[in-house]
Structure 1
Amino acid sequence: MASEHQHPHPHGDEWEGDFDPFADPEERRVLFAAVDSFRQYRRNAHMNTTHRRRQAFYALPSAHWQMLSEPPFSILDNFNKVDDAIDTNAEIADAILDIGLESFNLSPSPDKNDPTQNWHEVATSSDVNKAHSTIRQFYRDWSLEGRAEREVCYDPVLQDLHNEFQARRDSGEEIRVLVPGAGLGRLVFEICMAGYDAEGNEISYHQLLASNWILNHTAGPSKHALHPFALHFSNLQSRAQQLQQVQIPDVHPGLAMQAAVEAGQRLGTMSMSAADFTVLYTQPNNKETFDAVTTVFFIDTAPNLIRYIEAIRHSLKPNGLWINVGPLLWHFDDGHSRKPGDASHEAGIGEPGNVELSEEEVLSLVGRMGFRLEKRGDRRPCGYIQDPNSMLQNLYQPSHWVARKVTGA
C-alpha cells in the first residue's frame, strides 16, 4: 500500500498523495469490503441484535412472554428502544460511508457488472464486525465518557514527550512524532495540539474511513449521538445502562485547532499515512526522520515484532525516543494482511510466520536491537471500550516504558 496523507483542519481536501488502492485488485477488494461493511451496519445490527431476539422471545411459552412484555420488564419495548439506538449509531455509519464514497470517487449505486466499481455486498461477517467495533471505538477515543481510558493510555505518552522535548519545542524547534496504529486519530490530534508535528499511520480501511469522518467532517462538538453498549445484553445492571447515550466528538478537531491558533498557542502539523507500517517506514525517505515514535496498544498487532522494531529504529533519529503503552494481546488480523508472496508486501505484515512474546522477552529484544531502556512506568489498569457499569470488567494492565535509540545503532 502506498502512502497517502490526511490533513485534518477545518477546511480543505483530506485525501492527498500518490495513494491508489485501485491499482491492486487485492487492495481494491479490501477497501470495498470496508466501505460495504458500513453500508451493511444498520441492516446487520437490526437482524443480529433485535430480530433474532424477538424470535427467541416469542418462542417462550405464551404466558411467559406475555408476562415479560408488561411492566416492569417491557422486554418488547426495550427491543424497540434498542432498534432506535441502532438507527442512531447507523447515522454515524452512513456518514462514514458517504464520506468514503466521496473520497474514493465511488458511486452509491455501482454497476454490478463492473468488478472495478461494484462495492456492494462484498463485506464478510468479519468486515461487518470490524465496522461495529469501529463505531464503538468512538466511545473510547472521542467521547467525554471515554476520557478515563484515554487518561491511562495517552496522558503518559504526552507527559513523556513533554519531559523530553518541551524546551526544544518552546525554543522553536520542530519535533516530529510518528504514531503507528493511529486508529481514530485522537492521539495524533492530542500530540498536534501539544505543539508537536504528528504523523499517524494506519493500515485498516475501517479506521482510516472513520478517522477521516471524525477529524474532518463532524458537525461540531457533541453533535453526534452514540449508543456504545446498546447491542450488549449480558451483565447489565439496568436497561438504562444498555441504552446509555454519549455525544461525539467531545472536542471538535477543526474548531479546537482554530481556537488554539487564535489564542496564539503553538500547534504542530498533522497528517495520516495509509500504509503497511513495516514497509513504509523502512523506506530510504523515512530514514532517521522522527524525533519520537509512540506505540499505544500497537506492538501486539505484530506477527513478527522484529519487523516493527526494525521500522521504528530505521525511522528514528539518533537518540530518538520510543514511547510504548499497551498490553500484549497478540492478535494477527488476516483482514489486514496480504497474500504471502505478493511482491509488494513480502516484507510487510502479510509475510508468513508469527511469534508471541512475553513482556520480559519484548524488553530483551528492544535492548538487543539498538535501544536502551530508560524508563518503566507504573501499571495502571484500564479497559478497552469498557462499560464501567458492566458486571463483567475486562481490564488490561498495560506496560509503559520509554527506550532511546542508541547512537549509531
Structure 2
Amino acid sequence: MATVQNTQDAALPQPSPLFDDAGPLADPQERRVIFAALDSFHQYRINSHFNTTHRRRQNFYALPSAQWRMLAAPPFSIRDTLSAVDDAIDHNADLAEQIFQLGLSAFALPENPPKDSEMNWKGKAKPNDMAKAHSTIRQFYRDWSYEGFTREVEPLLNMIISDLAAHLSTTRTENQSPSLLLPGAGLGRVLFELALRGFHATGNEISYHQLFASNFILNSTERADQYSIYPFAHTFTNVESRANQLRCFTIPDIHPGQAFSARVAAGSAVGEMNMTAGDFVLSYSTPESRETFDGLVSLFFIDTAPNLIRYIETVRNCLKVDGVWINIGPLLWHFDNRVPGGNTDEDEDEDGDDGEPAEAGTKTQPKPDLEDKGIGEPGSVELTDEEVVQLVSHLGFEVLSHEILPADSGYVQDPNSLLQNRYRCSHWVARKL
C-alpha cells in the first residue's frame, strides 16, 4: 500500500511518494494496469477526435448532398460545430497530456520506450481504459470546477461536516485533530476540503486513472483556474443548444497549496492530507490498520462492493471504538452483472462500444484494476437500502441517523441537458460499538 502526502507548497514530487516503491512496476499484472492508464491519457486526443468528430463527419457527408449542404449553412452550421468540438477536445486533451506526463515522471518512465522493453507503456490501453480516461477528465467538472463543486459536491460536503461536528466530538483527543479515512477518494476534492478544515484525512483509491489525476490536481497545478475543460463537448444527445454543449469551465476553482497557506497565515489549523493506492479491503483489513481512524466517510462508494459484508468488516477493523462512519450515496451496485465465480466485463467499454463517454449525469463506477483478492473475490449480492442499514447494525455498529435525501444529487450532470439523472442518496451515520 503506497502513500502520498500532499504538501502545502504544491511542489511537484520527484518522484511522487505515491509510487516510490518497486512494487507496482515489479508486478506484471499491475504494471499492465498502470501502463494502460498512462496510455489512455496519452491517446485521449487522437481517440477523442476519431470517435467524436471524425466519425460524425463521415456520417454527415454520407447524407444526400442537398441535405448536408443545407445543414452546413447557417443557422445550423454543423461543420462549424464539429470544428468547435475539435477545439474543445484539444483543451481537454491538454489536461490529459499533463496528467500523462506527471505519471511518466512519477515512475521515471521514458516518453519513447524501446518497443521490446517490458517498460514499454505504449499501446496498452483498451477501450475500457479509454472510457475511464474520458470519465476522469469529465469528472474534473464535478470536483474541481466552481460550478460543478457548488452544485454537486458542496451540499454533500456540508452534510458530512455537520455530521462530524455532531458525532465525532466524543472521539477527539485533546490537542489532536481527528483522523478520517475516505475510501474511494477519487479526484480528492472532499479529502482536500476536510484536511483544510483541520482533519487528518487519508484517502484511498484503487483506480490509477483517479490516482494520476488527483495527484496532478493536488500537487502540480500552479494557480486557480489554470486549465479550461469542456465536459459536455462529447455529448450529442439531449443537447439544448450548441452553446450549452460547448460551455467552458476552469479548474481548479481553488488552488490546494495556496488555500492551505492562506489558512495557516490566518492562524487556522489545517490537517494532514494523504492518499493510499490499493484495494480498500486489502489495504485496511490488516492487523496494522486495526483501530487507526476516528472516523470514516464513504461518499458514493459502498455500492462498489460485490460483497458489502467485506466492506463493513474492513470499516469496523480500521475504526477506533466509538469511531463514526458517515455514508452518503446511492446503491448502483457495480457488480450486479458478475457471473458466478467470474470477473466483470473489464475488457468491455463501460461507457459504450464506441470509445465515447457515457451520457453526462450517469454515475460510472470505476472498475477494479486488480482482481486477485479483495473486491475481486468471487460472489456478489445486491442489497436494498433497508437491508444495508440492518447489516451495518448487525455487524457491530449503532446506527445514529438514517434518511433518504431528495432526488437532487447529480453526478457530472449537465444541468441544461434534456435528460436529467438524479440520485436519491441514502444518508446515514453509524458508530462502532
**TM-score bracket for the superposition, by shorter chain length:** over 0.9
Offset from partner CA, 1:170-210 (integer Å, 9 cap, x none): 95222000000000000100110111100000010000000
Instruction: Determine if the alignment matches structure 1 residue 212 to structure 2 residue 215.
Output: yes
Query: Per-residue displacement from partner, 1:378-402 (whole Å, max 9, x unpaired)?
Result: 5032110000000000110110000
Which amino acid counterpart does residue 417 of structure 2 have in structure 1?
S
Q: 2:91 aligns with which of 75, 81, 88?
A: 88
Partner of 2:375: helix, strand, or coil?
coil
Match in the other structure for 1:124 = 126
Correspondence for 2:376: 350
Number of the residue aligned with 1:251: 254
Instruction: Say whether the 8 Å CA contact 1:153–1:326 is kept in structure 2.
Output: no
Whichever residue aligns with residue 135 of structure 1, its letter is I
Instruction: Quote the residue 1:172 is aligned against.
Output: 175
Q: 1:3, 1:280 within 8 Å by CA — same for their partners in 2? A: no
* Number of residue pairs aligned between Structure 1 and Structure 2: 398
Residue 270 (structure 1) aligns with: 273
Residue 364 of structure 1, CA deviation: 1.1
TM-score, L = length of structure 2 = 0.89
Partner of 2:77: 74
Deviations 1:331-363 (A, max 9, x none): 146451534xxxxx43x1111111111101111
Question: For the Cα contact (< 8 Å) 1:169–1:195, is it kept in 2?
Answer: no
Tell me how far apart the structure 2 counterparts of residues 312 and 356 of structure 1 sit (CA, whole Å): 19
SS in 2 for 1:189: helix
* Aligned residues of 1:6 and 1:212 also touching (Cα < 8 A): no
Q: Deviation of residue 404 (structure 1)?
A: 0.5
**Paired residues for 1:4-403 under 5 Å:** 4-10=3-9, 11=11, 13=13, 14-16=16-18, 18=21, 20-115=23-118, 117-146=119-148, 147-165=150-168, 172-332=175-335, 334=346, 335-339=367-371, 345-346=372-373, 348-380=374-406, 381-403=408-430
**Cα distance in structure 1, aligned partners of 2:379 and 2:67:** 53
Structure 1 CA distance, aligned partners of 2:369 and 2:207? 10
Query: Matched residues, percent identical?
Result: 53
Native 8 Å contact 2:298 2:326 kept in 1:
yes
User: Is 106-115 or 73-82 further displaced after alignment?
Assistant: 106-115
| Distance in 2 between residues matched to 1:59 and 1:5, nearest whole Å | 51
Q: Which amino acid aligns with 2:125?
A: A
Instruction: Indicate conservation of the 8 Å contact 1:3/1:274, yes or no.
Output: yes
Measured on the aligned residues, the alpha-carbon RMSD in Å equals 1.6
- Code of the residue aligned with 1:384 in structure 2: it is Y
> Mean Cα displacement is larger for which, 147-156 or 20-29?
147-156
CA distance in 1, matches of 2:369, 2:124: 17
Q: TM (normalized to structure 1)?
A: 0.94
Secondary structure of the structure 1 residue equivalent to 2:209? helix
What's 1:342 paired with?
none
Distance 1:398 1:69 in 2: 44
Unaligned runs of 5+ in 2: 336-343, 347-366
TM superposition shift of 1:7 = 2.2
**Structure 2 counterpart of 1:399, one-letter code:** S
**What amino acid is aligned across from residue 427 of structure 2 in structure 1?**
H
Helix, strand or coil at the partner of 1:145: helix
Q: Is the 8 A contact 2:3 2:274 kept in 1?
A: no
